[in-house]
Structure 1
Amino acid sequence: MLRTFALCTALALAPLPALAHKVIFSVFKSGDQVEGELGFSNGDMAVGQLVEVFGSDGSKLGEATTDQYGFFTYVPTTPVAHLFKANLGAGHIAEDMLPAEDIAAILGVAAVEETLASPEASPSPAGSSVTVASLTEEERLVIATAVRDEMRPLRRELAAYREQNDLQTILGGLGYICGLFGLGFYLAARRRLAG
């Protein structure tokens, strides 16, 4: 009985493994440039981090630096696939690829203007139709900036949620529960055999 108690105490006091965090790194088209986000799954963002940009042949195309929120922008110049890399130290290497089709779309190689609404199909509440072509470049930039600013916290929260509720965490919790039940059954069986 004393050995069982000592074993249970030793297991309870044993150091638990450190909770690791993953690197969150994503790049996406944003108007006439590429925008990216770099940080960790625990919510810490990589501030002032160098992000290098490479072509599909491995040649360096350029670089960018993250701002105080872990975001960066890069303006591509050639319609090839872009590989974005960041070395955060301690074995944290982040990589993300933007395909050549997306870069070509940013550069306007295959850009097609679409209307948001047609006057015949669905009039706007004010009675006038608004199309992408009728917006000035300044209005487009204001709208794109507002949408990006609103999407940033949502993207960060979604990545943190995915990290916290992954399958490994769920299975680990179930394993702990099964282990505790197994320990309880073992102790109950020992008592029954001893008494």
Structure 2
Amino acid sequence: MLLTIKEIEVELYNKFSPFQGEMDDLILRKRDTPVNNLEKLESHLHVKLKGSFLSFIMEYNLDNFSLGNISFGTGGDYLEKLIYLNEGDGFNNWWEGSLRPKSIIVIALSDPYTILLNTVTGMIYAITSEPSVNDDRPVADDFELFIRVVGSLFLKEISAQDAIKFTGATNQDFWNNI
């Protein structure tokens, strides 16, 4: 059984708050300030955020948050980080060619994976620096499912096979490796 997002929030708090600030990046915190840069991100990247990803960033502060080994924000404004990761300056291009694939953006990083969101379909993908056949295969049908499975793997230690079953992922390598 997968944890809900609320259960993940509570379990992360219970597990890491006793460390008195040493592991705050592993605590999922409710947003206490409004999202300021949403229009800027959408304008710069020519995308429209929607669905469970938009709901999640409106409710939770990802500025300094990691879930297991998946890092969303590492300090500073999360949406500004997304703009930087997705604009491409020649150094940090995660895509091949000169133009970022339309409607696809990086939302998180994990060694060795880059986590991508298709802003039209809501599907989540994971790629590595070595192109493979799995790059075009989703790891989850939507962001909420992705978070719930990653959180359940991290906190309940569900199996990779359970993760694959819950997500219906066709990119099974990702779930077997994280």
What TM bracket, shorter-length normalisation? Answer: under 0.3
Bigger helix share: 2
| Higher CA-based Rg | 1
Give TM-score scaled by structure 2 length.
0.26
Q: Which has the higher contact order (CA 8 A, sep 6+)?
A: 2
